[in-house]
Amino acid sequence: MTKLEEIDHIAIQVKSIKDSVDWYTKKYKCKVIYADETWGFVQFKNIKLAMVTHSEHPPHFAILDKSIKEEPGTVKHRDGSISKYIKDLDGNFIELIKY
């Protein structure tokens, strides 16, 4: 049987990280993993939601990929994860990420 890939998070662009993190945590009782002026990250029971500013990240979903290595074209994030963006056939952004 083939092992299925795992979605790590979905990222949406928002106008205010603080307002959006506050709204999601009050409305849906999710847990704040991280929040600053440019990026918010909350944990639901089954998935994480990233809230990003227009200037920092495109809207995307992230797939866990253990084969990602720190090399040209990858980004090392403040939480120590490594990722790179690719696009699907229709131009949607997918982040391949390893923690």
Task: State what percent of residues in the chain have pLDDT above 90.
Answer: 82
**Which pLDDT does position 1 carry in this prediction?**
66
pLDDT at 79: 81
Neighbours of 3 (CB within 10 A): 5
51 or 78, higher pLDDT: 51
- Determine the straight-line distance between the first and last CA of the chain, rounded to whole angstroms: 25
- Mean pLDDT over 29-50 rounds to 95
Query: Which 3 state secondary structure label does DSSP give 50?
Result: strand
List of domains in the chain: 7-98 (3.10.180.10)
Give phi and psi for 45, each to the nearest 5: -60, -40
Residue 31 has pLDDT above 70, yes or no: yes
pLDDT given for residue 57 in this prediction? 85
Mean pLDDT of 24-33: 96
Q: What is the pLDDT of residues 57-75, one digit of tens each?
A: 899 999 999 999 999 999 9
Q: Which of 14, 80, 6, 18 is nearest to 46 (CA)?
A: 6
Structure tokens at 62: 């992230």
93: burial class by Cβ within 10 Å (0-12, 13-18, 19+)? middle
Residue 28: which H helix or E strand, with range? helix 17-28
Residue 38, pLDDT > 70, answer yes
Whether the pLDDT of residue 2 is over 80: the answer is no
